[in-house]
Chain A
Amino acid sequence: MIPRYQIVIFSILVLASLAMAGMLWHLRQKAHERLVAGADSAPTKAPEVAPAEKATLLVANDDDNSLLPQVHSLPLPADPGSRARAVLARLLDIYAAPNATHPVPGGAASVSQVFLLPVAGAANRSEPAKTNTVIADDSGAPIAGGPEPSHPEMAVVNLTGKFVAGHPSGLETETLTVLSICGTIHANLPQVTEVRFLVDGQQRPTLAGHADLTRTYLVGEISGPTSVGETSAVPTEVAHP
């Protein structure tokens, strides 16, 4: 036979447990409501928009196998990697537009990331670091270039697999895409002297069967504009890894 006082104590403890559980449930609900209310709150500060700056894009033309510099005004982030991605996004938007001179589907979302890395052994290397590079506009006035920076960088462009899968196949069209990307990065970030490509974070042999994506492209000597009939219409120097 259970004593009476034990039954009373047990009943009190059960009631206290139930009350504490109810209190916890209530507090949890209040915290959740507070969290949801905070997420829905209106912004108290307007988002910062980078000021529009002039960017030089080397736009390819399939008809005459040329790269023509075009100056566009677009918001550019301060971070160099984001800056490179922004100019490439605009370049690929131009290629994705109807009646583009170099039609390539994909648009701005085709570049996942652009990483900037210091060039290994740049201090001991003389060729790309000491050449004077000038990218000229239609009138021949220099847009970017001059003496190469003392701390050259390599840009690693990570393209999306969707962009590569949809890229037209051909020596000319693939070469123009690669060179316009390399030239556009160098025109806006002169410290970038080398460019490598990844596709979805992995190395890939070619862009669409022709343009070699396994090597490092030295961008110090890509220039524009070029014209039909020049034997060196699309000059590029190649470093073999």
Chain B
Amino acid sequence: MPWIRPAAPLLFAAINLAALVVAVPSTAGQSTTPPATAPKPAPSSPPPQTPASPPAPAGQAPQAPLPPAAPVPPPRFVVVLDAAHGGDDLGGHLSSGQLEKNANLSLAVRLRSLLGARGISVVTTRESDQSVDPDRRAEIANHAQARACISLHTAETGSGVHVFVSSLSPAAPTRFAAWKTAQAAWVTRSLGLAGVLNAALLEAGTSVTLGRTPLPGVESMACPAVAIELAPERDSDHKITAEPDDPNYQAGIAQTLATALLEWKTQAARPDVARPDTSSSEGRQP
């Protein structure tokens, strides 16, 4: 029928215009959606600790409506501390006879106290000797929308502190990240966090080794994440001067890590730190 032909382009144009109108609002606030939960049924996570907001001054009259360009309050800075192993998962055996899971928890508790004293909100994956699935740890981290996720380990081999970042290749953020490779969009930020920790530890006189390795659990975290392994402190003759479960040694390392995370918080005020990697350029150093 000849009357349909001139109407067809108009019809397609109208459809395209409608699609554009629908699409614009949906992309305006689009950001990467971190996978908050593992792709299997799991109990709901505890809500992250929320720092108390300052009370409003009493007796003040309601203020005039805010100007349209009111500054957006900065997002809160949350650190997730993940004491590795626990419960049936003993981890390694330290030279002192201590189990790794207990030394990890001890270090996490020390670091949590120091961070709290510095006004940093902390969410922990476990507070006692209990088994926590790696996916569950990632769920807690992703629910907290943390600015730094630290997985804490101890070992009887090596020396000083070992800092590991996931070996996933950096990837551009996507609207829906795959659970097992969610960390890929944050690897560059994780390298940045490792750099800050490395600088602080070196400044404190601690020997540091840096590396990349597959990190189950951490690789599902949508946040700047590193694994820190506390190894024995050794002197120049390679003799052990402090075991990883030594309280004084742990306190010193925790103090340095807390200082580094405070520095990271300062850097996190920059808007680019709070987002996943916007470029997938490989080899970016902190």
Contact = CB atoms under 8 A, between A and B. Distances in A.
A65 B91 contact: no
Interface string B140-158: 0000000000000101111
Nearest to A229: B210
Contacts of A17: none
Given A62-B159, A236-B213, 9 more contacts: A63-B159, A171-B213, A175-B164, A229-B208, A231-B285, A233-B211, A234-B212, A237-B167, A238-B214
Contacts of B198: 229, 231
Contacts of B167: 235-238
A229 B238 CA distance: 19
Interface of A: 62-65, 103, 168-173, 175, 208-212, 215, 228-238, 240
Contacts of A235: 167, 212
A169 B100 contact: yes
B214 A236 contact: yes
Contacts of B195: 231
A234 B92 contact: no
Given A209-B92, A237-B169, A65 B211 contact: yes
Given A235-B167, A240-B180, A172 B162 contact: yes
B191 interface: yes
Contacts, number: 107
B51 interface: no
B194 interface: yes
A169 B93 contact: yes
B85 interface: yes
A211 B229 contact: no
Contacts of A168: 92, 155-157
A22 to B, nearest CB: 68
B286 interface: yes
A233 B209 CA distance: 8
A175 B213 CA distance: 7
Interface string B201-236: 000000111111110100000000001010100000
Interface in B230-286: 231, 238, 283, 285-286
A172 B157 contact: yes
B71 to A, nearest CB: 35
A169 B162 contact: no
